[in-house]
Amino acid sequence: MDPKIAADTIWTLFTAMLVFFMNAGFGCLETGFARQKNAVNILSKNFIVFAISSVAFWWVGWGLMFGNGTPFAGAEGLWMLGGADNSPATGDAYQGAYSAIGWTGVPLLAKFFFQLVFAGTAATIVSGAVAERIKYLAFILFSFLLVAFIYPVTGHWIWGGGWLASRGMWDFAGSTVVHSVGGWAALAGALWLGPRFGKYRKDGTISPIPGHNLGLATIGCFILWLGWFGFNPGSTMAADPGAIAHICVTTNSAAAAGILGATLYSWLRLGKPDLGMTLNGCLAGLVAITAPCAFVSVGSALLIGLVAGFLVVEAVIRFDRIRVDDPVGAISVHLVNGIWGTLALGLFAQEAITPGTTGNGLFFGGGTGLLTAQAIGVASVGAFVFLAASIFWLILKATVGIRVSLQEEIEGLDIGEHGNSAYPDFVTRRTLPVLVESSSAGAAQPATR
């Protein structure tokens, strides 16, 4: 056995597992940021979404993304991983259907697993923005469509040897490929669904709807931070010591700076250091460093993260002002900072850090060429994903329906969609009046609780 392939495979699978675990992180974060009456629904969405993604990406997503084909989509080995393995690990079977990902020698199923967890991340981003009002079935179907058809197409453009790759766009670990794709789909969903009942009042005021469990949200964000050490350093798909160590540190530095930036800015702008902003600042820094992590210095990473921290606070406030209701700030985190990170690569990239790849960005004497390529990528991916997602959302709206009834929304999706309650033993502000009345009426509490 070639020890390099063993080390590369360990690294690829290990980091893929970390990225897989980000599903738990998103689940905790989104549930914590929403109300308790919708907790089961959000947990269910975030739990089932990776199962949906696993089937969709295996069925056709992988083939569309990495199959040899046109500059716009894959075609060879399209269905169910049907192409021959092109990895050195398989010896004689080297020539294959997925040559765009032939640069790493790990086995085909290791490549698939790593790419699957990325596809799953894109789907789970949508979940937060459409929370507390979307029908469970509509979310399941949209996730399938996103992972089977939308995500792999733009992914092919950039990572599958498509036209944006040829055009000189770089996105190391997916600020655009994953995060802004998820973000655009989330924006489309939030717009077609409309805001939650009671969020924006007729008198023009905005009603804050705080999350119900900030402990859960914070655990979630820690898990996501951990997961990003898989997301970015794992995107080498090889145990290249210098690269993976470098990417660990740029990734962490951007997260740290995003935290400090968002905390400081919310402290100044809102009067107090809001925990939700601190958490989203972390994610903003991480999203932003995802594209450039391998190509920029630690100092640049700190700057990129700091800007991301400011951006996310400002974006959350501004999206609220234009009445785009995003319960968890997913659009501000993933779309806004996915764009920022992709552009930042065009500003901060340094030839010396990863020779023979991006060349220098604008701030390091490389001119505007790289930045332009990045901007074209941002715009074209945005246009395609927003359009395609909107079409799917509208088809779903016209068929199964995408929004629960007003009554169900008011009473909570947990009972309405699932027949479950997340915390049946606890007294909530909703249940208190009823319970107090039945209590003073002498009704016995159930002995088994």
Among positions 143-202, residues that touch its own copies (CB under 8 A) are 196-199
Residues facing 379 on adjacent strands: none
Our finding on whether 71 is near its own copies (CB under 8 A) is no
Q: Which residue number, 271 or 356, has a Cβ lying nearer to its own copies?
A: 271
In angstroms, rounded to a whole number, what is the distance separating the alpha carbons of residues 294 and 3?
A: 24
36 binding its own copies? (CB under 8 A): yes
Among 16, 134, 190, 344, binds its own copies (CB under 8 A): 16
Stretch of 13-21, 149-157, 316-324, 345-353 contacting its own copies, by CB under 8 A: 13-21
Q: Which is nearer to its own copies, 21 or 363 (CB)?
A: 21
Binding status of residue 278 toward its own copies by CB under 8 A = yes
Phi, psi of 424 (to 5 degrees): -65, -20
User: Using CA of residue 22, residue 65, residue 144, residue 387, what is the dihedral sign?
Assistant: positive
Q: Give the distance from CA 71 to its chain's centroid.
A: 25
47 binds its own copies (CB under 8 A): yes
Contact with its own copies (CB under 8 A) among 131, 178, 259, 343 = 259
List the one residue from 248, 324, 376, 395 that touches its own copies (CB under 8 A): 248
CA dist 291 and 360 (Å) reads 15
**What is the C-alpha to C-alpha distance for residues 35 and 328, in angstroms, rounded to an integer?**
11
| 206 touching its own copies, by CB under 8 A | no
Binding of its own copies at residue 18 (CB under 8 A)? yes
Taking CB under 8 A as the criterion, which residues in 314-373 touch its own copies? Answer: none
Q: Which helix (H) or strand (E) holds 240?
A: none
Q: Which of residues 103-132 bind its own copies (CB under 8 A)?
A: 106-110, 112-113, 116
Structure token pair of residue 187: 């924006």
What are 45's two structure tokens?
């969405």
Number of residues that bind its own copies (CB under 8 A): 129
Under the criterion CB under 8 A, does residue 246 sit at the interface with its own copies?
Answer: yes
The least distance separating its own copies from the CB of residue 325, rounded to whole angstroms, comes to 12
- Per CB under 8 A, which of residues 371..410 are in contact with its own copies? 410
Distance CA 244, CA 221 (A): 22
Pair of tokens at residue 359: 């060349």
Burial class (CB in 10 A: 0-12, 13-18, 19+), 168: middle
* Residue 229 in the binding site for its own copies (CB under 8 A): yes
Q: How far is the CB of 236 from its own copies (least distance, A)?
A: 11
In this structure, what DSSP letter does residue 354 have?
S
